[in-house]
Amino acid sequence: MISLTRENDVFTLTMDAGENRWNTTFVRDIDKALDEVEASSGPAALVTRSTDTKFFSNGLDLEWRQDPSAHPEGGDADAFGAEFMALMGRFITLPVPTICAINGHAFGAGFMVALCHDIRIMREDRGFLCANEMAIGFRIPSAELALFRHKLSGSAFYETVQFSRRWGGPDALAAGVVQHVASMEVIPELAQQIAEQSAPLAANRELFGDQKQRLFGENSVLNLPHGAAHMLKNADQFG
Amino acid sequence: MISLTRENDVFTLTMDAGENRWNTTFVRDIDKALDEVEASSGPAALVTRSTDTKFFSNGLDLEWRQDPSAHPEGGDADAFGAEFMALMGRFITLPVPTICAINGHAFGAGFMVALCHDIRIMREDRGFLCANEMAIGFRIPSAELALFRHKLSGSAFYETVQFSRRWGGPDALAAGVVQHVASMEVIPELAQQIAEQSAPLAANRELFGDQKQRLFGENSVLNLPHGAAHMLKNADQFG
Amino acid sequence: MISLTRENDVFTLTMDAGENRWNTTFVRDIDKALDEVEASSGPAALVTRSTDTKFFSNGLDLEWRQDPSAHPEGGDADAFGAEFMALMGRFITLPVPTICAINGHAFGAGFMVALCHDIRIMREDRGFLCANEMAIGFRIPSAELALFRHKLSGSAFYETVQFSRRWGGPDALAAGVVQHVASMEVIPELAQQIAEQSAPLAANRELFGDQKQRLFGENSVLNLPHGAAHMLKNADQFG
């Protein structure tokens, strides 16, 4: 479902569960992969990708959320909200450069995962980024709003959360939602290349990670009393 | 002076007072129109426009401000500041999509009104948006500064408030101050079309409006201890 | 080392110390020049430039920092951090329009100086803006982070501080890091022209300066409890 490989200084986290919908089991498997990344030392970077050619991650595992007992493979339903948010808080402050290879749709929680990476590469011809909560009548959790606000420009943020805008590759690039677009074939090599170039920044993990904490954490130097990572790490539910 | 019409799910608020300068009577008439919009239920959106082909709104009613007793039609001068600001706070958190058809100059308070809408369409060939306070030696009220900062990018904000930049259509579009530009003839149909497309978002008024409160209100999830709507709604004067 | 000249309403502050690296003597000389600017009245603007054709300012005087006693001309080493930051806080709230003519590299502290001006003009063909701390393993001071965040877009800020991006002229212009680019030959006349056009804004020094305090100072109306100027003015060290 989740695999972690390493080539030179680059770790690659591969999600291989079809639409890659989020439940507690999925969260914990990824958390373990991050343990392995953080247990390394020296130059390193992380690329996150999906094997599915249509979906990067299509959001929460709704079938499991609606009837957890019928889908025990999804894991502890009560633990999900806080653990998912905390995982996002871990991603956004991971002490190595992180590159997200968005090779398909990233909806809701999948969009959040992408935004928690340092650099995003999106498929240029297909796939959308979308926080569709308003369009389908769901409330956006506060920590998710904070994350979007920290990672998007004011206008991109507003269109995303209030009007459920679907971002295709070229529009996402123009609005700064992603930093690169590329064809399906080129994304892997581009991600590897960016990861290798930025891996030396992780030689000093403490410095690189500490600054992410200062940007997004509780006592953010950005003058924001409650940083995005702090809110993500302290959300007691997905709400 | 003010009229409100409805076509399908779209309310249109028309300002028909020449330069559409703001005094207490004008504020209260618009407030009543918003009561009618909010009294509706189901899908809805609001388009705000002006009948004047040169001015959308040219700012405060200065003649009335300087000598209210000579212009009793302007209404209670003492009540103006707080009521105008509160109306802006109501606009920015209105629980339906709001589209501003800026078919001419929008100066000072007129610029504020436009910014309190969700989506702005500006005439491409004529007219300016401008907060001209610095240029003419006036202090910008704190709630107005907060509004500009919440709705503009950092650089557009700084040019607007510190250098009184006059934004023509194409420049305003490039800087994200407006979302669309169009010819005078096309603006009405474009506004109607955007309004109809977004009206379904208002089917759940509570959700759509609650999120605007969370973005701009007192306990904004954006980590800002004093949101723009909160400041607008609690300004005790225009200063 | 530092000279201040005046032509019409425009003061020009010229740095003439080669790479223009910062030590306490350099800080105090510039502080005195700003005293002269502030002692004037009426319309005025300030242009800051360098005589070196390769460097605008190449950062801290590292040789002096590493062994102050061997370089007594650099001045009191213990006083440096707080006085440099306070000077930046003074620049960012100077009550006249400020234009920075960046005619070469601006690294670290040199980049900070440029960002503390209202308007930046950068050489189009050569030179980089860069905060290279992460790349060379140094911690970015909190007040510097706050300054970058206040003056750059979210994405430009993140690339600048977390990935030590080197900004060339065209990229800096596209990302809003600078407002203009020009050739080496054109920069002086363009700076003079912008300064003359904006000088009238300083006719009311109190108003123009007070608003900068309200944007960046301690009780910033931007809802940020600790504005950039406040942090700069109260940093007790360069750390």
Q: Give tens-digit pLDDT for C13-60.
A: 999 999 999 999 999 999 999 999 999 999 999 999 999 999 999 999
pLDDT for res C230: 56
| CATH for the stretch B2-234 | 3.90.226.10
Tens-place pLDDT, residues C52-97: 999 999 999 999 999 999 999 999 999 998 899 889 989 998 999 9
Which chain A residues contact residue B224 at CB under 8 A? 224
pLDDT for res A11: 98
Cβ atoms of B101 and B107 closer than 8 Å: no
Cβ atoms of B215 and B92 closer than 8 Å: no
Among residues of chain C, what percentage have pLDDT more than 70? 91
R_g of chain A computed on alpha carbons = 17
The rounded distance, in Å, linking the Cα atoms of A102 and A110 is 10
- pLDDT > 90? residue B54: yes
Q: Does B175 touch chain A (CB under 8 A)?
A: no
Contact between chains at A207 and C137 (C-beta distance less than 8 A):
yes
Report which of C218, C188, C236 is spatially closest to residue C82, judged by C-alpha positions.
C236
The CA-based angle B127-B133-B134, given to 5 degrees, is 115
**B100 CB-near residues (< 8 Å, 6+ apart):** B47, B48, B49, B113, B114, B117, B119, B120, B121
Residue A206, classified by CB atoms within 10 Å of its CB into exposed (0-12), middle (13-18) or buried (19+), is exposed
The CA-based angle C147-C228-C182, given to 5 degrees, is 40
The rounded distance, in Å, linking the Cα atoms of A22 and A61 is 5
Return the CATH superfamily for domain A2-129+167-204: 2-enoyl-CoA Hydratase; Chain A, domain 1 (3.90.226.10)
Query: Which of C155, C171, C220, C222 has the highest number of chain A CBs within 10 A, making it the mutation to test binding with A?
Result: C155
* Among chain B residues, CA nearest to A159: B118
**B217 CB-near residues (< 8 Å, 6+ apart):** B93, B227, B229, B230
Tens-place pLDDT, residues B198-237: 999 999 999 999 998 888 776 565 544 345 555 555 545 5
Of B201, B214, B215, the CB nearest to A163: B201
3-state secondary structure chain B: CEEEEEECCEEEEEECCCCCCECHHHHHHHHHHHHHHHHCCCCCEEEEEECCCCEEECCECHHHHHCHHHCHHHCCCCCHHHHHHHHHHHHHCCCCCEEEEECCEEECHHHHHHHCCCEEEEECCCCCEECCHHHHCCCCCHHHHHHHHHHCCHHHHHHHHHHCCCECHHHHHHCCCCCEEECCCCHHHHHHHHHHHHHHHHHCHHHHHHHHHHHHCCCCCCCCCCCHHHHHHHCCCCC
The rounded distance, in Å, linking the Cα atoms of C94 and C40 is 12
Contact between chains at B225 and A225 (C-beta distance less than 8 A):
yes
pLDDT for res C213: 84
Tens-place pLDDT, residues C199-210: 999 999 999 999
pLDDT for res A225: 38
Backbone angles phi, psi at A75, to 5 degrees: 90, -170
Tens-place pLDDT, residues B76-121: 999 998 899 889 989 998 999 999 999 999 999 999 999 999 999 9
The rounded distance, in Å, linking the Cα atoms of A2 and A35 is 13
CA A46 to chain C, closest CA, distance in angstroms equals 15
Of B198, B214, B215, the CB nearest to A163: B198
Taking one residue from A and the other from C, the number of pairs with CB-CB distance under 8 angstroms is: 58
Report which of A30, A26, A235, A28 is spatially closest to residue A140, judged by C-alpha positions.
A235
Of C139, C149, C224, the CB nearest to A207: C139
pLDDT for res B213: 84
* Among chain A residues, CA nearest to B176: A155
Question: For chain B, which residues make up each domain, given as ranges?
Answer: 2-234
The rounded distance, in Å, linking the Cα atoms of C145 and C68 is 26
Tens-place pLDDT, residues A88-114: 989 998 999 999 999 999 999 999 999
The rounded distance, in Å, linking the Cα atoms of C166 and C175 is 12
ipTM at complex level: 0.88
Question: For the ranges A83-92, A188-197, A200-209, C110-119, which has the lowest average pLDDT?
Answer: A83-92
CA C156 to chain A, closest CA, distance in angstroms equals 10
- Higher pLDDT, residue B147 or C230: B147
Q: Does A146 touch chain B (CB under 8 A)?
A: yes
Of A134, A153, A158, the CB nearest to B201: A134
- Taking chain A, what is the end-to-end CA distance rounded to the nearest angstrom? 27
- Using 50, 70 and 90 to split pLDDT, how confident is the model at A150? confident
CA C112 to chain B, closest CA, distance in angstroms equals 16
Which chain A residues contact residue B152 at CB under 8 A? 154
**A122 CB-near residues (< 8 Å, 6+ apart):** A102, A129, A169, A172, A173, A178, A180, A181, A182
Q: Does B176 touch chain A (CB under 8 A)?
A: yes
Q: Is A2 left (phi over 0), alpha (psi -120 to 50) or beta?
A: beta
Tens-place pLDDT, residues B63-74: 999 999 999 999
Of A97, A207, A221, the CB nearest to C146: A221
- pLDDT > 60? residue A74: yes
Tens-place pLDDT, residues C107-154: 999 999 999 999 999 999 999 999 999 999 999 887 888 788 888 998
Tens-place pLDDT, residues A15-34: 999 999 999 999 999 999 99
Of B97, B150, B211, the CB nearest to A140: B211
List chains touching B (3+ CB pairs under 8 A): A, C
CA A230 to chain C, closest CA, distance in angstroms equals 17
